[in-house]
Structure 1
């Protein structure tokens, strides 16, 4: 399911890149092409800022994972009910860690395609 999520993110970003490419190539007049390129640049910049902000969020989640692992080790040394709770916490931490990693990979995919879109828009603005 994780790989399906990666594939969906890749395909949707590729479709967006193709849409931008074809829309900029079909416009004959430079002012129209420049306006569309600037609007796409604004959208891409906002989306890139959001993706970069998510890395800050993922960093905070990683800190929480480390703290939860430390607490699970302390709780595992106690009585048997605490050991069962610690095992449950370890499983939850492992799942959260996997989801965080998948989110980071998806953010990297987004940033890759947004960088390509930005380069394409700048090239269309600069060239006549």
Structure 2
């Protein structure tokens, strides 16, 4: 399921990139193309700021994982409790890593969209 999530994120971002490329190449008049490129830049900027903000969130989750591991080692309540806590912490670590990878994929395609828009604004 994790790889399907990556594939979906990759394909949806690729379709967005293709639509941006096609729409910017379809418009012949320069002022209209610049207006569309600026609107796409605003959207991509807001979306990339959100993706960058998620890295701060993931960093906090990583700190909580370390703290949970430390507390689980201190509170020795039995082998079953320790194993279940380790499983929960491991699952959270896997989810955090998957979220980070998806944010990296988003940032890659948003950077490509931003470069494409800037190139269409600069070229006449």
Query: Fold-level match, TM-score > 0.5?
Result: yes
Structure 2 CA distance, aligned partners of 1:23 and 1:123? 14
Match of 2:119 in 1: 123
Q: 1:98 aligns with which of 94, 102, 109?
A: 94
- Mapping of 1:28-47 within 5 angstroms? 28-47=28-47
Distance in structure 2 (CA, Å) of the matches to 1:26 and 1:123: 15
TM-score by length of 1: 0.95
How many residues are treated as equivalent by the alignment? 124
Give matches, 1:77-92, under 5 Å.
78=77, 80=78, 83-92=79-88
More contact order relative to length (CA 8 Å, sep ≥ 6): 2
2:2 is matched with which residue?
2
- Using the size of structure 2 for normalisation, the TM-score is 0.98
Could you list the runs of 4 or more consecutive aligned residues of structure 1 that deviate by over 2 angstroms after TM superposition?
none
User: Deviation string for 1:71-122 (max 9, x for gaps)?
Assistant: 111123x5x3xx3222111100000000000000000000000000000000
Structure 2: gaps of 5 or more residues: none
